[in-house]
Amino acid sequence: MHRVCSSILLLVVGCGKSGQDGTFAPGEGLWGQGTPTVVSSECGWLLLGDEEDEVVAEALQLDLTDGGFTFSEEDTVFSCTLSDQDFSCDRQAQILDLSEDGEQAVLERIRTLRGSFDSVEAGTMETVESWDCEGADCGMFESWLQLSFPCEAETLAAIELGATPGGYDDDDDDDDDDDDDDDYGGGGGSALDYAEECEEALGPVPGFDCSDGVVVPITVDGVEVSEDQSGSNCDAPSIAEGDCNAGTRVGRIEGTTSSGEPNDEVVWAYLCRKYDGIVQLIGHNTESGATCFFETEWDVTELTESLSIEDGLVVGPVPSPSDADYETVWKAPGEVAMQACWSCHLADPYVHTPYIDGARLPEDPSQPTIPQVGGTDNLYYLVGDAYEGTQDSLRTLHIDGNGCVGCHRFSDPRSFSFDGGPTYDANEHMPPTDPGSLADDFQALLDCADEGPQDTPGCEWRQIPGGS
């Protein structure tokens, strides 16, 4: 499923005019919306439909009417009234029937628009929307999306006649520093801006070389193999790819202070994926909860001469913020934020599976290379302007006395599995000292995820505490 985006696609440009009596009138034509700022949200990330059916706001066509104007978006038309340069629009509903995708759920989205014009070609728009759901699968969607229906959200964004998606203009070649924050589509500034935010909370962002990482072993019937395997053939497939691609590497880097001294509170972990040449990095402060997500661009070998791809894996020094090619190699935070990494990395920053935990820490093989930092009440929050408003979505299901949540928070494995169902049977692995002994407790949490806490006595959402 894919997230509901608020960016507006601009197709053509119209022209502005004033009313015949000299009153203000905005420009007619198609208006673009900049990257929205979340004012408040109970809805988290709404991921709806298949890629071809992604619920994405199209261009807003503005046409003047007697006493106001209309904003038209595909088959939705908002009738709006003007009071000087302020405007308000009527409520409009959209019905999203997911039965064609095999889901027993019908979603209703109701939106109201209001705002003000600064001029005939620019202004600010507030969108207030609510979502509700009917159907047997609504509880499952609540678990996947980390929300409770009905929910409400409010966003604020700049609107402009002639702007392209994300609030920047492809035809504008000016290098105006004041517009830097708008040049990255998802908000939050550049990759270097984000690195500065993260270094304030975590210390220096490290550089590294994927060849120094630990190979994630691939086994078939307990025997390690060096060839790629299908998910149905290998013992422990990756939840990200569904298969077992030999050669993926992971690494752990201990944090440091700005003066280079060790910082035991901070840990970094990187993943060098063999199947697509992407490199990812997560930094976490175990005391404050501060967490940062990083991901490289696609085809990094075309962006810098310092890196190459060998057998599907990035080879060479992956740059730190002090390197000249850092901003070329790493994605801007807005791009990463739009991927909603935290929707899978929900209970804590690092996801653990039999696949990824096969890579053991060389200096202490009793530990996996990927850090184990989870608990029942440890702090966890996302650093940076790109993640503003996400803390309310960091919450997990909880049942008092349930054994599964006695050691760590619960994250529904079905919310991020490759094929729509759990890649692993949790009862074969958990709890580690007696697998399967908490099968009833695990099922109780799955039932709550399906039915929703509002229909499951004793089950509730627990907000993950964030620090600063």
What are the pLDDT digits (tens) for 226-283? 998 887 889 988 887 778 889 999 999 999 999 999 999 999 999 999 878 899 999 9
Q: How far apart are CA 271 and CA 253, in angstroms?
A: 12
Across the range 306-310, mean pLDDT stands at 88
Is 60 exceeded by the pLDDT of residue 26?
yes
Q: How much is the pLDDT for 11?
A: 21
Q: Which of 48, 53, 78 lies closest to 63, judged by CA?
A: 78
Across the range 16-42, mean pLDDT stands at 74
421 contacts 237 by C-beta, under 8 angstroms: no
Across the range 172-180, mean pLDDT stands at 40
Q: pTM to 2 decimals?
A: 0.67
73 contacts 60 by C-beta, under 8 angstroms: yes
- Return the percentage of the chain with pLDDT > 70, whole number: 82
195 contacts 338 by C-beta, under 8 angstroms: no
Is 60 exceeded by the pLDDT of residue 320?
yes
Query: What does the DSSP assignment read for 360-385?
Result: EETTEEEEESS-----SS---EE-SG
Q: How far apart are CA 352 and CA 95, in angstroms?
A: 37
pLDDT per position as a tens digit, 331-354:
999 888 877 788 888 899 999 999
Task: Name the residue with tokens 């580690």.
Answer: 432
H/E stretch holding 52: none
Most confident range (mean pLDDT) of 192-206, 232-246, 295-309, 404-418 is 192-206
Q: How far apart are CA 11 and CA 122, in angstroms?
A: 16
Q: Where are the alpha helices (DSSP H) in 121-276?
A: 138-145, 191-202
pLDDT per position as a tens digit, 53-66:
332 345 689 999 98
170 contacts 137 by C-beta, under 8 angstroms: no
Q: Which region holds residue 452: left if phi is over 0, alpha if psi is between -120 and 50, else beta?
A: left
Helix (H, G, I), strand (E, B) or coil at 401: coil
Q: How much is the pLDDT for 341?
A: 84
pLDDT per position as a tens digit, 429-440:
899 999 999 999
CA 357 to chain centre: 23
Q: How far apart are CA 196 and CA 419, in angstroms?
A: 37
H/E stretch holding 288: none
CA 238 to chain centre: 19
Is 60 exceeded by the pLDDT of residue 173?
no
- Which residues have a Cβ under 8 Å from the Cβ of 250 and sit 6 or more positions away? 213, 214, 216, 269, 270, 271, 272, 356, 359, 369, 370
Residue 343, Cβ neighbours under 10 Å: how many?
A: 21
- Which residues have a Cβ under 8 Å from the Cβ of 180 and sit 6 or more positions away? 189, 190, 193
What single DSSP character describes residue 139?
H
pLDDT per position as a tens digit, 128-172:
999 999 887 787 677 666 677 888 888 888 899 875 544 433 344
Across the range 6-28, mean pLDDT stands at 49
